[in-house]
Structure 1
């Protein structure tokens, strides 16, 4: 089970969750009865991933469930028959204040229990970061306060890099991750308007129109999914 996590909001957790689930589902095929072998789960109460899945409708190439209130269901995720990969979208509400010295910074309450259940059943964590300095501290704090204490393998993914802006921010982000965090994905998810419009248009990356730009946008997710699979991060 792959958990897409970062304290900082707006870094593309939903986009990575949905599109990684889509390309993985296409790559590994369905179960013998035709049911998808990939499940995407959202525990974000805002429900943006759920809204996206509803927009795609019956053409959604993977299974999906909104589970921000289903603690029992989350604890049974590893027992879902026939599902080979699970991708979990999480909220950006983590209150990891620097002066919080508690043993478990997730806090109390139902929302904390939900996220704790996800992490307790996780095999790996994917941390998206955009190529801008504002995301550095929240990403590092998420790793140090939440991921490393649980001894979970993780991969930091640079997301939404626009080549038209040059590579100064990209290189600075790569250097920060390699020096402070490690575990940087070789694949960079580039910025395309297609990705930003996909949820409103009710499509996932495997359903983009057949043109050069769409192919390039999809290629990034294909490469990242393969990289995650080769790193041994599976359900």
Structure 2
């Protein structure tokens, strides 16, 4: 039975799509399988369809199946029934106007990843998302500190960690660092598992592999749902 992982934060520009694509790619790579029968599905519920554009650029090399479902709430409500996949990663919109979509996928979620950039302007939007929608869903959730640039020093990172601790929010141990490779990957049509084999690329991959281990490590918990069947029609690279 598939586990549904929702990446959510109603603030745009916090890296939800980058986290979704790269995490799905790493988990697919970790689980093995084949390009013909992938064990992972990536789902975009964002009307802007940036994840779809990225998937199309990767094409047949995309290590997971993909579906664009922002206008298909019926399929989104049946994600749990896609028993041909081990994991489903769902990218969500960055707008309060799309709250109904977010609530639909959260009802399917086994866990929620909340990306948070280490800067004070990100704090209030994340708090609103968590308090208003995510915590209300009943799904386990954790904050992911994302897109931290070590070249800027650790002051913002430490301030963000202190804020998160004061809120009592659960967090991932992994901090995803900022790399140009991540920002260029969509335009170049690659995922983190297809980065070139050099030192910088290895460091850029490490954070997502560590994050994947934390996500997969939660599989010892009983799934929040227990249904099976078939629903959303997924396609490879489209």
Give 5+ residue unaligned stretches, structure 2. 226-238
Q: Find the residue that maps to 2:11 and give its secondary structure.
A: coil
Q: How far did residue 34 of structure 1 move?
A: 4.2
Other structure's SS at 1:186 match: strand
- How far the C-alpha of 1:183 sits from its partner, in A, is 0.7
1:41–1:64: 8 Å Cα contact kept in structure 2? Answer: yes
Correspondent of 1:136 among 119, 123, 136: 123
Aligned mates of 1:116, 1:126 — CA distance in 2: 14
What is residue 188 of structure 1 aligned with on the other side?
175
| Aligned residue in 2 for 1:104 | none
Count residues with an aligned counterpart.
219
SS in 1 for 2:93: coil
Aligned to 2:142: 155
1:164, 1:86 → 2: CA distance?
Answer: 34
Give the superposition deviation at 1:7.
Answer: 1.4
Match of 2:110 among 106, 123, 130: 123
Q: Distance in 1 between matches of 2:100 and 2:136?
A: 17
Deviation (angstroms), 1:82: 1.9
Partner of 2:21: 18
Offset, 1:115: 2.5
Equivalent residue number for residue 106 of structure 1? none
1:152 Cα deviation after fit: 1.5
Please give the TM-score of this superposition, normalised by the length of structure 2. Answer: 0.88
Given that 2:185 and 2:191 are in contact with CA atoms closer than 8 Å, whether structure 1 keeps it comes out as: yes
The CA RMSD measured in Å over matched residues stands at: 1.6
Report if aligned partners of 2:103, 2:137 keep a CA contact under 8 Å in 1.
no
Distance 1:146 1:49, change over 3 A: same
With structure 1 as the length reference, what TM-score do the two structures score?
0.89
Residue 60 of structure 1: CA displacement? 0.3
Q: 2-side partners of 1:115 and 1:167: how far apart?
A: 32
4+ aligned runs moved over 4 Å, structure 1: none
**1:3, 1:118 within 8 Å by CA — same for their partners in 2?**
yes
Quote the Cα distance in structure 2 between the aligned partners of 1:179 and 1:113: 29
Distance 2:46 2:214 in 1: 26
